[in-house]
Structure 1
Amino acid sequence: MSKSLFGTDGVRGRANTYPMTAEVALKLAAAAGRHFRRDQQEHRVVIGKDTRLSGYMIENALTAGFTSTGMNVFLLGPVPTPAVGYLTNSLRADLGVMISASHNPASDNGIKFFGPDGFKLSDEAEADIMRLFAEGVAPAAPQNIGRAKRFEDARGRYVEYAKTTFPRGKRLDGLRIVLDCANGAAYRTAPAVLWELGAEVIPLGVEPDGFNINEDCGSTHPEAAARKVRETRADLGICLDGDADRVILIDEKGRIADGDQIMGLIAARWADEGRLAGNALVATVMSNLGLEHFLNDKGIALERTAVGDRYVVERMRAGGFNLGGEQSGHIVMTDYATTGDGLIGALQFLAAMVESGEKASKLVRVFDPVPQKLINLRFAAGKAPLEVESVKDAIAKAEKALGANGRLLIRKSGTEPLIRVMGEANDLALLDQVLEDVTGAIKAEA
């Protein structure tokens, strides 16, 4: 069987370059369609996308692949990734697909699959799709070819659902909110939800042109939103990424809060309310030690997983937990959504503001983080820096130097040709030294 196309979050790459070509998308859709066909009269798939120009090409190729195997296609247009998960289940589809490279630049794109329950695929499902991809799939008979149509109500359904996750009887009246949609998938849905709940919305990143998604805006570039918060004296800033499955918040002073702080706040509130399933939060190895100390002081466990929201969700489902996420802003609340949902995560924070009467600045800093530094190192094709002995030796020496006083995490990105080096320690001089040693060794081989 050919090497799997799937990374930590579906298939991803540079648009119009293998594997993100129309040919691969068509074959992948045919394989996925064959894998998910059930014994019922109608087989259906929903397809959403973000605002990248290449989304048109990938959407058409996927449609051809699915219809060739007899599946009917519902085209949702630009919608957030969590909307695809929600509508896959709501419309009783066999599977859902989101065309997006999330926070990556416009030149990239990706394909994410959702099962009929609205959750991302298991490793086993991906392996079977790759088997079918390699073997080839026989097309349906002419009379059994599927149909494709635009599903005009997709945004409206998701907007109404998102509003139901906000506490009943509560409103956002009187709150001024800067909302940065990253020129991405939520550029229509997110402003509508906040405005309909009563907020005054100051929108940013709501003019996509096919090329400007995530460009100096959104959750990976929150500086523009922070300036706008200060300039307009807003109560809160909300920054989504290109497919709106992650969120970064900005308080009224323009200070930026990451996913760890948001998860800590929600976990503590839910624990006090008796609704934190398993009395635990699921997060990745990237989450700050300060979060772990904060939760432990409150008697809440922290379950750590590998990096990637799919691994967070897998642990949540296996352990019966209902709250998890990543430092990058994926907030997964299975009471409401099957994947990270930046807008619904922001609504939970807004609920805390409304119910407590506190300003955002009081709520975005629930713990003091241990100093943490993350360095991304790009490597050339064909290189494997982490397998070189000199790099292994540098890592071992760095871990010994930190001992029990810090933490070092080094991993290869599952979505980009990057080595991510993360270190934590209260001793900043020591932290800087070990990071310099490790990154120097990696650069020499990258």
Structure 2
Amino acid sequence: MIEIRSECRGRTLSPWRSVARAFAVSMVVLTANAAFAADPDVPRAEQLVRDGKYQEAYDLLAPFEDANSNDATFTYLLGRAALGTQRGEKAKALFERSLATRPDNVAAHLALGRAYFALGKYAEAKIEFETVLRFDNLPPDVLSQVEIYDQAARQSLDEGRALTGFGYAETGVGRYRVNSTRGTDAFGGGDRRDTFYNARVGGGVNYALQNGYAIDANLDYRFRYYDNSESRNDSDLRWSLAGSKTLGDNNLAAGFRGRTSYRGDSDYRNDVSIFSDYRMRYDPDNQFTLGADVRRRRYPEGNLRDRSRTTALVSAGWVRSFMDGKGSFSVTGHAGHNYATSRPDGDSDVYGATVSLDFTVNNKLSWGTFAWWERDSFNADNVHFHPDTLDNTVILRRRDNLYEVGAYLVWEFVPTWTLRPEILWIRDQSNSVGFNYSSTEVWINVRKAF
């Protein structure tokens, strides 16, 4: 047998023992490397997602999906990589898995909304986005709303911005007609027709804080100019400031809203309210809302000053997505009381409802319709003009039914530019003849989104 002598200790080692020792050391190294390789490089994947290198991030994380299916951070990052590589269904499933583990993760809610949007599930995307985002004065169509939400989500996720937002400007021309009613005919105003030109600008911002809190602010200005010198030119400024908190699939907000409207003859109407609103995402297709609002409407001076009043309202609503997210149906009911008023007819109870229906034909075209109704029941007997009585006056307790019915079409003819024809019918029906009124408005606007 061949032997090798060791000079250091004077021992004789078998070559087989040396081979065995080398093999053992190699196995230890390989086992250590294998154990290390079993853990995904999450910081590296996070950096790749941040840099927009989604395919590299997906290739890095995908082999470890089964072993990390309950890790909220891992599934979120893999979902971002899947969404960035056009794997919409995969991304949706991963974001849902991430939220099941960490339901208050705002980023995952935004990403899930983007996944729905990428899949063309617009109504479901709107419901998901509204668990974390709040913007007022949005256009009526769901597609435009979701595009605004998606832009804010992209600003937050891809650009890392805490302050996100949107802006818009629109203008157009329309036709206004006062329809013949007993009230308008009695005062010589029936069947009047005017051409008008309108403009609107505004926008909103959302500032994300820690732990799901956010601050939201919105501003909207509208102006309408009439050709007929006998018609007043309307102007309307609306604003809101609120704080919100994401609570899993739900969102709670509270804040202030205001509005200043020109009413003609140098008269203005000022509204200021404090409100609270709670949204509950029951499932991907259903959302419920609860709201409360206390507002003061004030006419500082002029003939309308006695209409100043305070209103307390509560509301409840339901939004339903159908046709795989292409259709959206919503209904909202409200009830309240008008008080602290100097109106001759006294205080009043109010209740009503709003119903809307929206369809997205494709990513460039959508249409919808809505109907609004409110009942106003006053609590004081009063003398009113009435043309059917001999002396033209009658003592009655006033009851009003107010109606609005509208429809719209939205066509994006080039990116961020839309053409918007709309029609609106208004009817105020009262047992007091002087408060009967009806009008029909048709207009077409061009809107630019920023």
Q: Same fold (TM over 0.5)?
A: no
The two structures have a TM-score, normalised by structure 1, of 0.26
The two structures have a TM-score, normalised by structure 2, of 0.26
Relative contact order higher in (CA < 8 Å, ≥ 6 apart): 1
Higher share in strand = 2
Higher share in helix = 1
Bigger radius of gyration, 1 or 2? 2
